[in-house]
Amino acid sequence: MIAKHDIEAEAWKLLERSIIYYQCRPIGTVAAIEPGSDALNYDQCFIRDFVLSALAFLIKGKPEIVRNFLIETLSLQSQEPQIDSFKPGPGLMPASFKVESENGREYLTADFGEHAIAKVPPVDSCLWWLILLRAYVKATGDISLFHQKHFQKGIKLILQMCLVHRFAMYPTMLVPDGSFMIDRRMGVYEHPLEIQVLFYTALRAAGDLLLRNDDSTCNLYNSVHKRLASLTYHLREYYWIDLKRLNEIYRYKGDEFGKEVANKFNIYADSIPHWLTEWLPDTGGYLAGNLGPGRMDFRFFTVGNLMAIITSLASVQESQSIMNLIEFRWNDLVGNMPMKICFPALEGMEWRIVTGCDPKNTPWSYHNGGNWPVLLWLLAAASQKTNRLELARKAMKLAEKRLVEDSWPEYYDGKNGRLIGKEARKYQTWTVAGFLVAKAFVENSQHLDLLSFESHE
Ligand code: GLC
């Protein structure tokens, strides 16, 4: 086995090799550099993927690339109102971008989903962008960047797009299927936890970044705080599942009419999956994957649950319960490679209907219950935040044992993540960066400042 410091050195070498230059300045990192494989769009810089590279660079004291990235992606943001509904609306940030050149002149092309497989719009990009901007300010103390007029305008456009009233009367954000890390049809439309937690985090970040220098920005600032209060209440109150709540749902009455009813969303007890009643430990709990009319998605989603811990959306008690669940169900949720993107997988007829027979998302593969090493960083940060470092260390050991040997794959397959993903890229950049960030979070709790917020219990 390779020594620990060699693994770190190799990871840094790979991360540096993935850097994209634009007019001689570093501005991002490519998604993967697997020699000999069909690049598809893995030669682009994805906003969500770059967040991991950015955190690694910020922690290392190399903020320049992050600053350049924030500037260039802001210039790609869709700004003008569109009459053409095939074009991105104002505020939207691209999923990914690429440097191209013509007659020696370099330019950037952005993909807002028009090129992506199944044409999925990236709802999470603008949320990550705000979260990263705040992390950059926290790491460097450089407030001059977000004070600039066009940065304030960019922040405003994102907020206006996210806060606008549409047809939903929930504080959560209504989104289409596959509009974030899970970017293929997986039944994650409506009000998925993964987006709601990013929405909450982005609003908290915006609260720190928006300058209040006229009536309109003061009003926007107030809207941010109002929405945050109702969003936090809604997620904590209605998405939370533990044994007590499960008992309540089990005995819910259906079809209640009126304002003050217990079963607000008309969830039927029969929709509780059989696996859950056995699976949930007495001391464990988690936030449900989705909630809507007559619908509670009982699957466990990792990004939402762990980000909720890191950002204090989950209370101290709830955070401990989530970590208890991970500890108790380690084989299911972490297995041989930290960690599962969601649990359990959709199988049989459910897989056919929900994924549309997607051959890449077969049960226990890719987004459908695959293990993604990039998620190690979330487990490390959440362990640090909850003082459960023994869990992070155990997870790090698994990653150290395999990642180098397996050439830093994008994901692993199987119930316990023993197989390298069937179509996984090797040398996936966010696997590499996620490992470096995880290591840093385990070693130093101060790095949590980059992403955490004061708790309002
Ligand atoms: C895949 C993943 C997506 C990721 C992209 C680049 O499309 O589903 O989450 O951003 O690859 O790595």
What does the DSSP assignment read for 95-122?
SEEEEEEETTEEEEEEESSSSSGGG---
pLDDT tens, residue order, the chain (457 aa): 677 779 999 999 999 999 999 999 999 999 999 887 777 788 999 999 999 999 999 999 999 999 999 999 999 999 888 778 888 889 999 999 999 999 999 999 999 988 888 888 999 999 999 999 999 999 999 999 999 999 999 999 999 999 998 888 999 999 999 999 999 999 999 999 999 999 999 999 999 999 999 999 999 999 999 999 999 999 999 999 999 999 999 999 999 999 889 999 999 999 999 999 999 999 999 999 999 999 999 999 999 999 999 999 999 999 999 999 999 999 999 999 999 999 999 999 999 999 999 999 999 999 999 999 999 999 999 999 999 999 999 999 999 999 999 999 999 999 999 999 999 999 999 999 999 999 999 999 999 999 999 987 7
Helix (H) or strand (E) holding 419: strand 419-420
Contacts of residue 438, defined as CB under 8 A and 6 or more positions apart, other chains included, come to 376, 377, 379, 380, 381, 392, 395, 396, 399
368: β partners = 365
Distance CA 397, CA 380 (A): 12
Nearest to 315 by CA among 395, 242, 211: 242
Q: How far is ligand 1, taken at its centre, from the CA of residue 183, in Å?
A: 7
The pair of structure tokens assigned to 339 is 């960690």
Q: Which of 20, 41, 49 to mutate to test the pocket of ligand 1 (most atoms within 8 A of CB)?
A: 49
Q: How far is ligand 1, taken at its centre, from the CA of residue 181, in Å?
A: 6
Return the SS3 of 52.
helix
Give the atom of ligand 1 at the shortest distance from the alpha carbon of 41.
6
Per-residue model confidence (pLDDT) at position 378? 98
Per-residue model confidence (pLDDT) at position 429? 98
Q: How far is ligand 1, taken at its centre, from the CA of residue 42, in Å?
A: 8
Q: How far is ligand 1, taken at its centre, from the CA of residue 377, in Å?
A: 17
Per-residue model confidence (pLDDT) at position 39? 75
Per-residue model confidence (pLDDT) at position 220? 97
Query: Which residue's CA is the nearest one to ligand 1's atom 2?
Result: 181
CB 136 within 8 A of CB 67: yes
CA dihedral 187→192→198→204, nearest 10 degrees, is: 160
Per-residue model confidence (pLDDT) at position 1? 60
Q: How far is ligand 1, taken at its centre, from the CA of residue 367, in Å?
A: 10
175: β partners = 190
292: β partners = 295
CB 410 within 8 A of CB 372: yes
Which residues have CB under 6 Å of ligand 1? 31, 46, 48-49, 181, 183
Per-residue model confidence (pLDDT) at position 168? 85
Name the packing angle between helices 316-328 and 302-310 (round to 10°): 140
Give the atom of ligand 1 at the shortest distance from the alpha carbon of 48.
10
For the question of whether the overall pTM of this predicted structure is more than 0.75, the answer is yes
Give the atom of ligand 1 at the shortest distance from the alpha carbon of 49.
10
Query: Which residue's CA is the nearest one to ligand 1's atom 12?
Result: 31
Per-residue model confidence (pLDDT) at position 309? 98
Query: Which residue's CA is the nearest one to ligand 1's atom 4?
Result: 181
Q: Which of 50, 120, 181, 426 to mutate to test the pocket of ligand 1 (most atoms within 8 A of CB)?
A: 181
Q: How far is ligand 1, taken at its centre, from the CA of residue 180, in Å?
A: 9
pLDDT, one tens digit per residue, over 152-188 is 999 999 999 999 988 889 999 999 999 999 999 999 9
Q: How far is CA 130 from the centre of its chain?
A: 13
| Alpha carbon separation from 396 to 1, 196, 279, 426 (Å, rounded) | 14, 28, 25, 19
Q: How far is ligand 1, taken at its centre, from the CA of residue 314, in Å?
A: 27
Give the atom of ligand 1 at the shortest distance from the alpha carbon of 183.
8
The pair of structure tokens assigned to 78 is 């869709």
pLDDT, one tens digit per residue, over 132-157 is 999 999 999 999 999 999 999 999 99
Q: What are phi and psi of 108, to 5 degrees?
A: -105, 140
Give the atom of ligand 1 at the shortest distance from the alpha carbon of 181.
9
| Alpha carbon separation from 4 to 18, 396, 399 (Å, rounded) | 21, 10, 11
